[in-house]
Amino acid sequence: MRALVVEAPNKKWQLQDLPKPVPGPGQVLIRIHASGFCFTDIHQTHGSLPGPFPRTLGHEPVGTIEEVGPGVTIRKVGDRVGVPWAQGGCERCEWCLKGKQLFCANLIGTAASMSGGHADYMLAYAQAAMLLPEKLSFEQAAPIFCAGYTVYSGLKIAKPQPGDRVAVQGIGGLGHLAIQYAKASGFETIAISRSPDKDALIKSLGADHIVRDGAELDKKGGADVILATSNSSEAAVDAMNGLRPDGAFVVMGFDPEPMKISAGLMIMKRLRLLGSQQNNKEDLYEALQIAAAGKVKVITEAYKFEDVEKVYDRVERGQVRFRAVFINN
Ligand SMILES: [Zn+2]
Ligand SMILES: [Zn+2]
């Protein structure tokens, strides 16, 4: 089979010919039809997140099950499935016993301890292979497994109340979905975007208002929740100036630069600062259903594995609008 392989940290991805994997006990073999390219793939390529080399990245994989391993009864050949980042844990530690496998020290991670989706085939544990809603195409489904799941989880963990205003900071791969999920959930939605060239598109995604920064957000009434999705700590912190009292600030975009947050602002407005990732299966299920209902549409750029150099460059430079997806029919 063909697979994009990163031989060592900072090496270019190579399209290699590898043996087709064989599913072990409890595992399924998935024929990949689409695999989203997340900015985290870049961090992983640089070795700034745990995981062995050489390996195949890609943690937004979707496809059909081609083979099931010994003992698998819950998934069948032909099932349309996708696999999130967290496939499971040790099932013995405190966090696994609480159903919070994402905190397990021995997390089974897609494109981390397990090989990822930028290949013709990948293995996954059957219980992690989420069934796709019938109406959702592979190309639309793939980015929900990280980008969509992440922002929808972030919205839910903030616990917005009826009538709340939700702002999204950073309108890229995550942000363009965050606007749509906030709007689909019934909230007045504000985009915080520094690039006026995106304004028309942002309006078409359903944003009620567009502001340039935290100060302008504050002037225009503020937000009760800010979903910070950009890869810039500086821009994220600036947006906090637009939070209303008792507001929640949810950090989802990753920047190795620390965030310099004003203690005065936190105290005077009694703000809540939350980190969020892909919090539980229920969020993924709902995120997929909302997309299948046509209320959220991923704006994709489609590529083939052969296009790897071009697409890597575009993602790294932040030029993709808004999610690059490898299509592998
Ligand atoms: Zn991701
Ligand atoms: Zn565990």
93 and 104 in contact (C-beta within 8 Å)? yes
The residue that leads in pLDDT, 254 or 113, is: 113
161 and 247 in contact (C-beta within 8 Å)? no
Ligand 1 centre from 268 Cα, in Å?
34
Q: What is the mean pLDDT of residues 156-179?
A: 97
Ligand 2 centre from 100 Cα, in Å?
8
| pLDDT one-digit tens code per residue, 217-236 | 999 999 999 999 988 899 99
Ligand 2 centre from 98 Cα, in Å?
9
In degrees, to the nearest 5, what angle opens at C-alpha 89 toward C-alphas 86 and 90? 170
CA distances from 67 to 28, 139, 232 (A): 6, 22, 42
Ligand 1 centre from 180 Cα, in Å?
18
Question: In order of start, what are the domains of the chain with their CATH numbers?
Answer: 2-143+298-327 (3.90.180.10), 148-275 (3.40.50.720)
Taking residue 230's Cβ as centre, other Cβ atoms within 10 Å add up to 24
- Identify which ligand lies nearest to the alpha carbon of 58: 1
Q: What is the mean pLDDT of residues 157-179?
A: 96
Which neighbouring-strand residues pair with 286? none
Q: What is the mean pLDDT of residues 315-329?
A: 94
Ion ligand 2 — residues with CB under 5 Å?
89-90, 93, 96, 104
Ligand 2 centre from 303 Cα, in Å?
36
Question: In which band, very low, low, confident or very high, does the pLDDT at 190 lie, cut at 50, 70 and 90?
Answer: very high
Rg (alpha carbons) of the chain, rounded to whole number: 20
Query: What percent of the chain is modeled with pLDDT above 70?
Result: 100
3-class secondary-structure state, position 195: coil
Ligand 2 centre from 105 Cα, in Å?
6
Ligand 2 centre from 96 Cα, in Å?
4
pLDDT value of position 23: 98
| pLDDT one-digit tens code per residue, 138-167 | 999 999 999 999 999 999 999 999 999 999
pLDDT value of position 15: 98
Question: In which band, very low, low, confident or very high, does the pLDDT at 254 lie, cut at 50, 70 and 90?
Answer: confident
pLDDT at 92 over 90: yes
Ligand 2 centre from 128 Cα, in Å?
15
Token pair recorded at residue 296: 């959220």
Q: Is 10 left (phi over 0), alpha (psi -120 to 50) or beta?
A: left
Token pair recorded at residue 107: 């997390």
Ligand 1 centre from 185 Cα, in Å?
22
259 and 169 in contact (C-beta within 8 Å)? no
